[in-house]
Amino acid sequence: MLDRDTRIEFGNEQLLPALCAGFNSGFADYKYGVQMDEPQMVKFLARAGIDLEHSAVLLHRNGAGWQGAGVALVAIVGDQAWCSGLAVAPTLRGGGLGRQLMEAIQARAAAAGAHTLQLEVLAHNAPARHLYTALGYQPVRHLLFWRAEPPTDPPTGDAFLQAANVDEALLAAYAWQREPPAWQRTQRAVALYRDELWAYKMEDRQGTAGWLICLPTAPHEPGRPRLRLMTLAVRPGDDEATRARCLLASLRAHRPDTVLSVINEPEASIFTPALRAAGFAEVDRQIEMVLHLT
């Protein structure tokens, strides 16, 4: 619980060093944690659409003064809010500070007009799931992480893809979405990466049959480029499953040397069987949860 050596404040530009320190210490042992300096943090917050004024920073006082020791990052669009990350420094865990950070952002989001607050939690993160359940969050669905390594024998099939205009792809692909995307893969969220995105479209005898919007990411190893698939869509109607398989097979034939990944694809998506058929392996999953704010 809060004492004279801990306090919670909401973010602003002056608190950026504390927010950066709180993020780095809180996520230091997280499975997908990264360490960022202040310029990297500014870019991350912008690309994630995070609202500093609605995000909480945990401050802890020690011999060096007040230091960032945790964060709860929030984005708000209309009447919906999203917590993109909650973290508390390991030395301060177990005392209810994570709960207080969540309660602080919940109250702030409600005051800003949000009716719901949603988040994702790794399925194996039992302590976080317990916290969110105790706060009243309800599970909505499972979101899957997928990865495909370059095949030993490159695909020999045709690649029915051609480069496309990103703006055109953002409009057309989301008009074909059947399953509501996870927050990070909504049209608004993906458009925040606009200048870094690649787009492809797949054609058949009836015209455009599918869209792919991709984000190149830094390779982990030389000579192994990486692409994250941000948006996948196929023309609605008969044989959607066939088009989904063809779209992914075409991408693998077009980029045989590339490590491909997808995060937060809804388990019920028509692309789940298509990803398996294209050689993608499920590598992790999250649970999407929602709280209805009063």
Write the DSSP assignment of 105-121 as a string of letters. Answer: HHHHHHHTT-SEEEEEE
203 occurs within a structural domain = yes
- Same domain membership, residue 167 and residue 105: no
- One-letter identity of residue 92: L
pLDDT at site 13? 86
Residues 176 and 95 in one domain: no
Contact partners, residue 14, CB within 8 Å, separation at least 6: none
Domain match, 154 and 99 both: no
* C-beta neighbour count of 187 within 10 angstroms: 15
One domain, residues 103 and 215: no
Q: Are 151 and 278 in contact (CB under 8 A)?
A: no
Per-residue pLDDT tens digits of the chain, which is 294 residues long = 677 889 999 988 899 999 999 999 999 998 888 899 999 999 999 999 999 999 999 999 987 789 999 999 999 999 999 999 999 999 999 999 999 999 999 999 999 999 999 999 999 999 999 999 999 999 999 999 999 999 776 555 555 799 999 999 999 999 999 899 999 999 999 999 999 999 999 999 899 999 999 999 988 777 789 999 999 999 999 899 999 999 999 999 999 999 999 999 999 999 999 999 999 999 999 999 999 997
Single pTM value for the model: 0.93
Q: For residue 232, give its domain range.
A: 145-287
Specify the pLDDT at position 267.
97
Q: How many residues make up the chain in this entry?
A: 294
Mark whether 150 and 265 lie in a shared domain.
yes
How would you write 253-267 as a 3-class SS string?
HHCCCCEEEEEEEEC
- As a whole number of angstroms, the distance between CA 132 and CA 122 comes to 12
Q: How far is CA 68 from CA 23, 25, 100, 183, in A?
A: 8, 8, 15, 27
87: amino acid identity, one letter: A
How far apart (Å, rounded) are the C-alpha atoms in residues 185 and 48? 10
251 token code pair: 């991408």
**In the numeric block, which tokens belong to residue 185?**
């893969």
Q: Which tokens sit at 253?
A: 């034939």
* Boundary-marking domain end, from 72, 99, 114: 114
Strand order in the sheet with 281-292: 6-10, 56-62, 65-77, 80-88, 116-122, 281-292, 138-148, 259-266, 226-234, 207-217, 198-204, 161-163
Which structure tokens are listed for 181?
Answer: 């995307």
C-alpha distance across the termini of the chain, in Å: 24
My answer on whether 55 and 98 are in the same domain is: yes
Q: How many domains does the chain have?
A: 2
153 found inside a domain:
yes
* Residue 220 sits in the same domain as residue 262: yes
- The answer to the question of residue 123 being in a domain is no
Asked if residue 181 and residue 47 are part of one domain, the reply reads no
